[in-house]
Amino acid sequence: MSTPELILLNAHVITVDEADTVAEAVAVTGGTITAVGTSAEIGPLAGPGTEVLDLGGRTVVPGFVDAHSHVSMGAPYIRHAALQPPPVGGVRTVADLLARLHEAAERNRPAAGEFIVGWGYYPDEMEDGGELTAELLDREFPDHRVAVAHVSSHGGVVNSRVLADRGYGPGLPDPRGGTIVRKPGTDIPNGVLWERAWMPLVTSLLDFDDAALDAMLAEYARWGMTTVQDGAASLAQVRRLRERAESGHLLVDVRSLVIFTELEAGIDSGLIGTTTGGHTVQGVKLMLDGSPQGRTAHVTEEYLAGGPGGEVHWHGIEVLDQATTDRLVEVAYRHGVQVFAHCNGDAAIDQLVAAHRAAVAAGATPPGRTVPIHSQVMRPDQLDDYVAEGFEPSMFTVHTLLFGDTHLRNLGEKRAFGISPMRSAIDRGLRPTNHSDYPITPINPLLLLWSSVARTSTGGVVLGEEERVTPMEGLRALTINAAYEHRTEQDRGSIEVGKLGDLVVLSADPLSVPVAEIREIEVLRTFKRGVTVHGAPA
């Protein structure tokens, strides 16, 4: 064996292998793990050029594998106004929000007519109700276009200039799969847009340069993420990432999903399924519904609080109809393209299952591990469907913290307590993952781990004690299970000989500290293929 370039000694190494082995030392050679064992065994492998770190008992885990987030959305958002309320941010009132937008305008200095953008707006948790309208934004920013993205990214508020740009005037009907909210008692848009009334606008704002991309990937590395997903990318964004990868500038690995509107073009491009310089085009992303916190997730049982525009007997929004979903799934399967589908509500999950079964009945063979992303407001029988059809769910347990109290109001206790049922999935033999959906929620994997174990809302309500998992199961969801969903479990997700030297040093052991302290654990150092990409020697 060649001389290792990195050796970690006197560590508490949680390998996440099949036997849940805990080791003491790791060696990495040529970017690959070449030894796992005791310090006495591995220490003598060091040569003159080996970086040897004595961790003094600190915990080492596999590099976290991001099951679902958005690199291409997060990169441009970095320079705009972050508008989250506590516990993520400090925006408590509309005055706070407007001040943040003004700060962003001062920082970015957009020319007259250009955009001022904010993201993370969540009126449900703002002290004054957070009502935002086009008229208010017009008064505050008369010389600019303004777009404020809801925390779900499935809707937002714009000013009158943007409404005019989009042709959203009085009497215009809602687009298929979208909602234009009106002033009470009129047909005049008030600036609030949802789903396919919003998506074309927000997509047009998601441009980023190399500096923004590098800053975004450095933020992932700061949280120990060594493989990340770009969960809904245009072909232009895919090509931007591929160019950066070819130049050798990707700090961590990125796996792109081509947005469903460009599936056929993506197939024709020959990019899907290819890997270069740490960038892989993994599959396709379908968008079947909206978000539960925005009341646009497509559910079979109506929302208790009605719709976002005051609708009654409201079941959310079907972004794609069944026929379109059937066609897209069959096209993907026939071309060996892995399908990832945004399914927050049980009606959307039914739609994906039906499309999968129709494609199989038509003779199309799925390439394996179709992934319903989010799997939140779902019925127990749908987990049985996942087992029967070979699906693997990517879940979103941090909703229980950040949006749990809203879900109780919108959905009632039974459905809210069943949000992202990870325990039930594991008990059925599934290998669920957990994700941040960044920039929807913070990247922090320790917060995600805590949320899967605690399932406690900001208001202190435990949302489904029976769906809590163990810390080890929560860690698996963020490492080996995520690698499995990506179909890369053979080279990442656990600390084993032959796998990539993707390692993370933590300030404490998430498996042994009190549950309340898991979310406070810090990432001290991140290694990608044995090279430090975040932190200093521990």
Asked which of 204, 231, 246 is the last residue of a domain, the reply is 204
Asked which of 161, 181, 204 is the last residue of a domain, the reply is 204
Pair (93, 147) in one structural domain: yes
Cα 235 from Cα 266, distance rounded (Å): 7
Cα 366 from Cα 358, distance rounded (Å): 11
158-161 CB contacts, 8 Å cutoff, 24+ apart: 158/134, 158/191, 158/193, 158/201, 159/134, 159/191, 160/134, 160/135, 160/191, 161/113
Pair (244, 371) in one structural domain: yes
Pair (341, 381) in one structural domain: yes
Identify whether the C-beta of residue 496 lies closer than 8 Å to the C-beta of residue 191: no
What is the model's pTM?
A: 0.93
Pair (1, 113) in one structural domain: no
Pair (257, 181) in one structural domain: no
Pair (380, 511) in one structural domain: no
150-153 CB contacts, 8 Å cutoff, 24+ apart: 150/121, 150/122, 150/294, 151/84, 151/120, 151/121, 151/122, 151/293, 151/440, 152/290, 152/291, 152/293, 152/294, 152/296, 152/440, 153/70, 153/73, 153/119, 153/202, 153/291, 153/439, 153/440
Q: Residue 429 maps to which CATH number?
A: 3.20.20.140
> What's the pLDDT score for residue 309?
85
Pair (196, 280) in one structural domain: no
DSSP for 70-111 reads -HHHHHHHTTSEE---TTTS---SHHHHHHHHHHHHHHH-PP
Tens of pLDDT, residue by residue, the chain (538 residues): 689 999 999 999 999 999 999 999 999 999 999 999 999 999 999 999 999 999 999 999 999 999 999 999 999 898 899 999 999 999 999 999 999 999 999 999 999 999 999 999 999 999 999 999 999 999 999 999 999 999 998 999 999 999 999 999 999 999 999 999 999 999 999 999 999 999 899 888 888 899 999 999 999 999 999 999 999 999 999 999 999 999 999 999 999 999 999 999 999 999 999 999 999 999 999 999 999 999 999 999 999 999 998 899 999 999 999 999 999 999 999 999 999 999 999 999 999 999 999 999 999 999 989 999 999 999 999 999 999 999 999 999 999 999 999 999 999 999 999 999 999 999 999 999 999 999 999 999 999 999 999 999 999 999 999 999 999 999 999 999 999 999 999 999 999 999 999 999 999 999 999 999 999 999 999 999 999 999 976 4
Identify whether the C-beta of residue 156 lies closer than 8 Å to the C-beta of residue 123: no
Per residue in 463-522, pLDDT (tens digit) is: 999 999 999 999 999 999 999 999 999 999 999 999 999 999 999 999 999 999 999 999
Per residue in 65-98, pLDDT (tens digit) is: 999 999 999 998 988 999 999 999 999 999 999 9
Pair (118, 2) in one structural domain: no
The closest of 290, 317, 316 to 302, measured between CA atoms, is: 316
Asked which of 204, 238, 261 is the last residue of a domain, the reply is 204
Q: Structural domain tally of the chain?
A: 3
Pair (137, 46) in one structural domain: no
Q: Look up the domain containing 5 and give its range.
A: 1-63+493-538
Peptide bond into 189 cis (omega under 30): no
Pair (313, 441) in one structural domain: yes
Pair (378, 455) in one structural domain: yes
Identify whether the C-beta of residue 16 lies closer than 8 Å to the C-beta of residue 33: no
> What's the pLDDT score for residue 207?
84
Q: Residue 505 maps to which CATH number?
A: 2.30.40.10
Pair (392, 429) in one structural domain: yes
